[in-house]
Structure 1
Amino acid sequence: MAEDYMAPFGDPDAGIAAALQRRGFRVYVLPCTRTDWFKVGRALFTRAYWSSSCTTNPGYSWYLERVKELVDRARLETGSEQVDLVGHSAGGWLARAFLGQAEYKDEPLDASADTLGSADAEPHPAVRALVTLGTPHTPPPADKVRDMTGGALTWVNATWPGAFFAGQGVQYVSVAGRAVRGNQEADRKTLSGYACGSYQQVCGEGHETVGDAVVPLRSALLDGADPVVLNGVFHSMSRVRTFNEPADVPWYGSEQVLDAWLHRLVE
């Protein structure tokens, strides 16, 4: 996963990290591989998962611990008091959890089963801004589709709804792509057919729903955040259903797309 942002398809110059560095940013990419995501399966062994009442513990604790380690490292190496977080896809809603979960603050609670997943009304002091790119911020209606996170996304969205910490100085920017309209009559091997199925899982409705081919607009735009809608921009740099084939379409981190949302951070 980290390679997708640092050296997609083996080309370091094509990564979003390099594009940001060319613009003068100090960039830190969360160390993560595709196999790391199997750790989410820890939640499968809990009653909470099957009742869709999980917090981020235990399925996503490993990810949030790495975010804390990376934020601490960035602050130490740059001497900066605060950082800006950029979260793509699930990384965006997990960043919202990081902002508010007490155990990831500078003085965390004891990391016991009773305290993990605890909520705080104060934002993480090290985060100045959060930009989300194609993030599914809201869970689907429970009567239509099951929350695939076992309730973790539902919990995050209910605990810190919308741009929850905006009034306390955190800048939120939510970026969404308008690229593909879902079509339930299309073959699932086509882009519109694939998008229809993906949108259905994310928001409960796929047919005639518009989004970035994976996440619909309605889910990616966080209430209260500075919204950025990009026409013709797709969710990923990879061809759908693959990880190692370039899509040859613009995505959120493309050189020609980046400045359309990045300027919101530097204005």
Structure 2
Amino acid sequence: MAVALASPPLFPPSQLKLSLSSRRRCCRCSTTVSKSDSISSPHTISTTYRPAVILPGLGNNTNDYQKLALILSDYGVPSVVAKVSRIDWLRNAAGLLDSNYWRGTLRPRPVLDWYLERVEEAVNEAKELAQGSTLSLIGHSAGGWLARVYLQEFGLSDVSLLLTLGTPHLAPPKGVSGVIDQTRGLLDYVEKHCAKAVYTPDLRYVCIAGRYIQGARLLGSSNDDNSAVMVEIDQPVGEMTAIDTSTPASATLRARLVGQGYKQVCGQADVWGDGVVPEMSAHLEGALNVSLDGVYHSPVGSDDETRPWYGSPAVKDKAENHHK
């Protein structure tokens, strides 16, 4: 079954096929798409690509996204990366002085005004490249939900596509033992006050999740006796080995540690994710939701080949190789 991704696209048609390994899943129709299928548009596809603004994730800096910008440039998509340094993220410590931080009801503003201002600067720069056309926002990790805050606070008249990469969109569940909301209420605010995801001709939300490793409970076994844990080996992504984890001993220590990270985000440890963000948290109701096998969360720690992240050349190369 082909999944429709209406025009005009952020990436060219070959990139939109999003073939990374043997499986893809569209969460709007609960369908797993085989690698021989393609994500194509039922409409006429524009050959003019809108400029893109790239929003860095938590702890990342502008330089981490230069390869992604180059890939977009190769396809004729001009891009601007919001100017953010790693030290800039220390500004978030200002939230400690807000009583809402300690109550778990923190709001994005004014704590994150510095980031939103950097996005506004990048958007204004991209508008000069747009020559009257609309823009795309590409938000990686926290940059995805911060893009939603930006759209809510600064308006969305110039934006026609929000593409999120490994973004934890959903607030952690409340009342789950051992789960602490590390955003101190920020994602609660986004969920309650920012516009819901849409997929319309005027504005499209596309949320991409990675399935790099399945987490495991710290103690005991998974609920799913047929689950699998990805084992890192020296092979290209798509050729990684999945082993049966029907017994507790087969869950690797790494899977258990990753699972504890997943639990802090979604309340569950034994789920799939990109090594940082669970798949279920990276999707939004109302958006076009896509899952890519073998994709790691961050450009930091990615080697592009055996551990590609969302913006790695390997992702582009596999999309091309599968559909030549």
- Specify the TM-score bucket, using the shorter chain as the normaliser: 0.7 to 0.9
Question: Given the alignment, which residue of 244, 256, 266 partners 1:203?
Answer: 266
Describe the SS at the equivalent of 2:286. Answer: coil
Cα shift at 1:257 = 1.6
Q: Which moved more, 1:51-60 or 1:226-235?
A: 51-60
Aligned mates of 1:5, 1:193 — CA distance in 2 = 30
> Residue 239 of structure 1 aligns to a residue in which SS?
coil
Q: 2:148·2:195 contact (CA, 8 Å) conserved in 1?
A: no
Flag the structure with more relative contact order, 1 or 2, with Cα contacts below 8 A and sequence separation at least 6. 2
What does 1:225-236 correspond to in 2, within 5 Å?
225-236=287-298
Amino acid at match of 1:221: H
Is the aligned partner of 1:155 residue 2:189?
yes
1:139 maps to 2:191? no
Structure 2: where are the runs of 5+ without partners?
A: 1-60, 220-248, 320-324
Is the aligned partner of 1:4 residue 2:64? yes
Structure-1 residue corresponding to 2:216: 183
- The 2-side partners of 1:247 and 1:239 are apart by 11
Larger mean Cα displacement after TM superposition, 139-148 or 231-240: 231-240
> Shift in Å at residue 168 of structure 1?
8.1
Instruction: Number of aligned residue pairs: give it.
Output: 228
Please tell me the residue identity of whatever aligns with 2:173. Answer: P
Give 3-state SS (helix, strand or coil) of 1:199's partner: helix
Asked if the contact 1:129–1:170 (Cα under 8 Å) also holds between the matched residues in 2, the reply is: yes
1:197-222 CA distances to partner (integer Å, 9 max, x unpaired)?
A: 2101111221x111111000110011
Letter paired with 1:5? Y
Structure richer in strand, relative to its length: 2
Residues 73-114 of structure 1 show CA distances to partners (whole Å, capped at 9, x for unaligned) of 21024323421000000000000111112xx24xxxxxxxxx
Matched, 1:255 2:313: yes
Q: Is the 8 A contact 1:138 1:153 kept in 2?
A: yes
1:93-144 CA-partner distances (Å, limit 9, x unpaired): 000111112xx24xxxxxxxxxxxxxxxxxx211111000000000111212
Pairwise mapping of residues 34-49 of structure 1 onto structure 2 (< 5 A)?
A: 34-49=86-101
Gaps of 5+ in 1: 7-14, 106-123, 262-267
**Which residue of the partner structure matches residue 215 of structure 1?**
277
Q: For residue 115 of structure 2, what is the aligned residue in structure 1?
A: 63
SS at match of 2:207: strand
Q: Secondary structure at the match of 1:63?
A: helix
Largest Rg, 1 or 2: 2
Identity across matched positions, percent: 38
TM-score calculated relative to the size of structure 2: 0.65
